[in-house]
Amino acid sequence: MLATAAILGACQSGLAPSPTSEMPSSGEQTTLGLRTIAEIPLSSSASRFDYQSLDPTRKQLYIAHMGANLVTVFDIQTREVITDIENMADVHGVLAVPEIGLTFATTTGSHEVAVIDQQSLRVVARMAGGNYPDGLAYAPDQGKLFVSDQFGKAVIVLDANTYELIDTIDVGGEVGNTRYDPASHQILANVQTRNQVVNIDPKSDQVIARTDVPGCEHPHGLYIDAEARLAFIACEENATMVSVDLNSMQITATLKTGDKPDVLAFDPGLHRLYIAAESGVLTIFEEHGNKVELLAQGMLAPSAHTVAVDPETHRLYFPLENQDGKPVLRIMEPS
């Protein structure tokens, strides 16, 4: 049934097969309604990846190759690696902010946030990032960067222009991902060890609301669909995704994912939410208004816990740490 739903969903969206695409190489890809169109070799060792961030203006994908201490910059048009930015110790989070020409990366091994100039693709500054910097969010009105200090139990506030520390916001527990909501102009952050999400006012750098998320154990991943006024939260310890109405802060859905869900990506054109899990299982949900339903679920690849999507082409990017002993970037699209 899932395979049928996935294929019907793709057909209803009007997606035609690409003439250069390859047919699926496994039944699992058919079940997911996706097909592989390329696998690009990546640099260095077969080791862990983490977050990704797409710069749609330059068509560049920034990939945190955590185990190799690299940020890989990939051209999504030519399908070539542009460069590997080195000395990025234990890099976790990465966030491209094209409006200011910078990309930020949390180098957890050095407790810093690295500032990458998008034109030269070089590190131009490093900022103190707390104890364990992880996720990143940017508030454009204030020009502030909000950093999840996971084990420091705080959100670190940095000036994205002067690269100075502004504030440290104690949220009372380990911090999961942090996101900016462009509709409310607030920062949202998951508090993993309290099973809560907090709202932060980026003007005052104060927690202004705190919401319990029942049925969600250890909320980690977070994505905000500002238009639909929904927040999607990946619950790491009980393999669940909950959606939260951002107007009422009430849970609207509780649905199962693969074990240890991690990174979320959203395709606004297709209204599809992709959740990649540490178990290698990919779960695809479809959004209908303010409701969400399961579209497909299946094994993608071992340790395939990070996903990015290009909203223009609907293509998906999965850096895989070990394919025949080497890291690759698997590019897929809805079939």
pLDDT in tens, 179-214: 999 999 999 999 999 999 999 999 999 999 999 999
* 160 assigned to some structural domain: no
Q: Per residue in 98-146, pLDDT tens?
A: 999 999 999 999 999 999 999 999 999 999 999 999 999 999 999 999 9
Q: What is the pTM of this model?
A: 0.91
299 within a domain of the structure (yes/no): yes
- Supply 196's token pair: 């809560």
CATH code of residue 256: 2.130.10.10
Whether 8 shows a pLDDT value over 90: the answer reads: no
Question: DSSP string of 185-233?
Answer: TEEEEEEGGGTEEEEEETTTTEEEEEEE-TT-SSEEEEEEETTTTEEEE
DSSP tally for the chain: helices H, then strands E: 2, 28
When pLDDT is cut at 50, 70 and 90, the band that residue 283 belongs to is very high
pLDDT grade for 266, boundaries at 50, 70 and 90: very high
pLDDT at 39: 96
| CA–CA gap between residue 252 and residue 267 (Å, rounded) | 20
pLDDT > 90 fraction of the chain, expressed in percent and rounded: 89
Question: Is there a domain that residue 274 lies in?
Answer: yes
What are the Cα distances from residue 182, in Å, to 109, 143, 157?
A: 31, 13, 18
Nearest residue to 57 (alpha-carbon basis) of 115, 102, 10, 9:
102
User: What is the number of residues in the chain?
Assistant: 335
Within a domain: residue 172? no
Residue 255 lies in a domain: yes
Per the structure, the count of domains in the chain is 1
Element (H, E) at 271: none
Q: What is the DSSP letter of 100?
A: G
pLDDT at 29: 61
Phi-psi region at 95: left, alpha or beta (left = phi > 0; alpha = psi -120 to 50)? beta
242 in a domain, yes or no?
Answer: yes
Percentage of residues in the chain having pLDDT higher than 70:
91
Residue 67 lies in a domain: no
**C-beta pairs of 80-86 under 8 Å, 24+ apart in sequence:** 80/40, 81/40, 81/42, 81/43, 82/121, 83/121, 84/43, 84/44, 85/116, 85/121, 85/122, 85/123
Q: With respect to residue 120, please indicate whether it lies within any of the assigned structural domains.
A: no
Q: For 64-79, how does the pLDDT look when each residue is reduced to its tens digit (9 = 90+)? A: 999 999 999 999 999 9
Distances (CA, A) of 143 to 149, 161, 203: 19, 7, 10
Task: Please state the rounded mean pLDDT for residues 91-95.
Answer: 98
**Domain limits at 241?**
1-49+217-335
Looking at the predicted structure, is the pLDDT value of residue 17 above 50?
no
- Location of structure tokens 């107007």: 247
Mean pLDDT value across the chain: 92
CA dihedral of residues 142, 148, 149, 153 (deg, nearest 10): 100
Q: Which residues of 26-48 are buried (b: 16+ CB within 10 A; e: fewer)?
A: eebbbbbbbbbbebeebeeebeb
Q: Are 202 and 139 in contact (CB under 8 A)?
A: yes
How far is the C-alpha of 34 from the C-alpha of 246, rounded, in Å? 31
